[in-house]
Structure formats: C-alpha cells, structure tokens
Amino acid sequence: MSTFKAKYLTLDKAVQALIWLFLIASCVLVLIPLAFMFTASTMPAIDILKLPYPWISDHFHWQNFWNAIRGPEGTFEFLRNTVNSLVVAISVSFFTVMLSSITGYGLAKFEFKGRNLVFMLIMATMMIPFETIMIPLYMVVTGMGMQDSYVGLIVPFVANAFGIFLMRQFLIPFPNEVLDAARIDGASEPRIFTQVVLPNAGPAIATLAIISFRAQWDNLLWPLLIVQSENMKTIPLYITKFMAETHSDEGIMMAVAVLASLPMFILFFTLSKYFVNTEGLHSSTKG
C-alpha cells in the first residue's frame, strides 16, 4: 500500500518546483502588507514615505506606540476605546455562549410540542443579514433608550442562530444516561445544565466564544449607528476618526493598527485550534 501512496505523492520534479514557487510567491505577497504594518509601526513618518520604502529602518522609533496610546491631545482616548471594545466583545461572547448553550441544550435534549418550529424559526434568522435590518434595528434600540450605551452595543448580538445551531449539534450526541443519572440523584434541571452539560461542552464553547469576540472586535457598522459620545467609542470607531484626520502621522497610524490587532494575534497564536473553525461549517452543510 505504501508504494501507492509514494507514487501518489511523487510528482514530476519540475512540477513540484513550480508548485513550491507559486506557494512561496503567493505567501510573500499575502504577508507583505502585514510586514509593512509591523515595520512601519517602528519608523518615523519620514522613513515610511521614503522612496523606495526602507524595509529596515536605521531608527527604531518606539515612540510611535507611546504616541498611539497617548493620542494627539494626550487624552489616552485609545485606551478608553480599547476598554470599551473589550467590554463589548467579552460580554457579547459570554452572553452568546450562555444563551446559545442553554437554547441548544433545550433543543437537543428536550422533547416538547413545537420544538421543530422553534428550531426552524431560529434558523430562519440566519436568512436575515444584519445589514438589511440595521436601520429598523437602530430605531428599535433608540426607541428603548439603549443608544450610546454598553447595553445597546451588546444585547442585539446575544441571540445568535449560528451559535445555537453549533451548540445543538454538539450536544445531540451527549449521553442521555448521564443526564438521567443526575436527575435520579435529584439534581434540578438548571443545575444539570450548569454542572453537567456546560463543563462538557468546552470545545464548542471555545469556538463560539472566539467567533463572537472577533465579530464584535471587528464591528464597525453598529457602533457607527448608535454611538455618539467620545467615551462610548469602540476601537473601529477610534480608527475611523483617526483616519479621517488628515495630518495623522503614518508611523503612529501603523502603531495603532498593531495595538488594535494585538488581542486577535494573541488569540490566534494561543487558540488557533478553535480560531479557524471549519468543523462548524461542514456540520452546517450537512444540515
């Protein structure tokens, strides 16, 4: 058998070389903008706009990072906005995980009349892209007086059909005997959920938590609609404002870019297993 495998894997030397060349070339092309961001973040602005671009500068201009954090007026607005982004992203991802797992558990392990209808209704919301309801949603949220607040930034994203689907699929194979044993021991249903089901849903929870954290860290459109005051701004809004200011220093701009990406890079390198989730995708194709 192994000879077949070897044959299958052996390509013409020339073809193989071309494939490697293509992969390395595309890899370099894809990584250039990232390399640009990292190198430019440590350069004074004069160096960044030099022709040609000096990939390695003589001056290591670490002040960019300090200036990025301090802000042009020394208000440390960047920090304030980072805290906002963290509060929103962490809360959304926490509440999404809780709500999705409790709903997914209800749909996976409880027989009740109308269960399929409930499931279909929830799945139907996947057909409603956020972009098409943002204007009425904006009016709902302002009508409830939640504009310009953490609540308004968090609550509309907590019910997440994909998350519910993910948790339901994950919990369906969970052994019923374990649940029944806990019931016989006299554990209440909420207790079974928090002490038996949740601790066993780790991988699905991690995947979902990261997906929702990223979505909110990246969310521009919604804060753009409902945030008015400076101190409720999130990082995407901070960067937008920063870009619109014409006299921004390019080095500081890239330092802001690096700092704003830091949480994502940390997650990416520590939890890459859950970061790129194709399992959820493939299970969703299987319906």
Partner 1 sequence: MRKRGFSMEQKKARWGWIFVTPALILFSIFSFYPIFTAFYTSFYNKNLLSLRPPRYIGWANYQYLFTSQEFRESVINTAVFTAGTFVPLVVFSLILAAFIMSINKFQRFFQMAFYAPAVLSSVVAALIWLLIFDPRGIANQGLNTMLGTSGVNYHWLSKAGMLRLSTIIVYFWKYIGYFTIVFVSGIGSIPYTLHEAALIDGTNRWQNFWYITFPLLKPTTLLVSVMALIQCLKTFSTQYLFSSSGAPTRPINVITLNIYNTAIKDYRIGRASAMSILLFLVMFLFTWLQLKVSKTEEVTYM
Chain positions 69 to 98 lying near partner 1, rule: CB under 8 A, are: none
Q: Indicate which single residue of 158, 208, 209, 252 sits in contact with partner 1 (rule: CB under 8 A).
A: 158
244-283 footprint of partner 1 as x/- string (CB under 8 A) = x-x---x--xx-xx--xx--xx--x---x---x-x--xx-
Residue 7 interacting with partner 1 (CB under 8 A)? yes
Q: Distance (Å, rounded) from C-alpha 256 to C-alpha 78?
A: 9
Q: Distance (Å, rounded) from C-alpha 254 to C-alpha 37?
A: 6
Q: Distance (Å, rounded) from C-alpha 253 to C-alpha 228?
A: 23
To partner 1, the closest distance from the beta carbon of 73 in angstroms equals 20
What are residue 286's phi and psi, to 5 degrees?
Answer: -85, -10
To partner 1, the closest distance from the beta carbon of 58 in angstroms equals 19
Q: Give DSSP secondary structure letters for 151-211.
A: HHHHGGGT--HHHHHHHHHHHTTS-HHHHHHHHHTT--HHHHIIIIIGGG-HHHHHHHHHH
For partner 1, give the closer residue by CB, 186 or 282.
282
List the structure tokens of 164: 């519910």
Residue 243 interacting with partner 1 (CB under 8 A)? yes
For partner 1, give the closer residue by CB, 73 or 285.
285
What are residue 248's phi and psi, to 5 degrees?
Answer: -70, 145
Q: Indicate which single residue of 63, 194, 200, 240 sits in contact with partner 1 (rule: CB under 8 A).
A: 240
Residue 175 interacting with partner 1 (CB under 8 A)? no
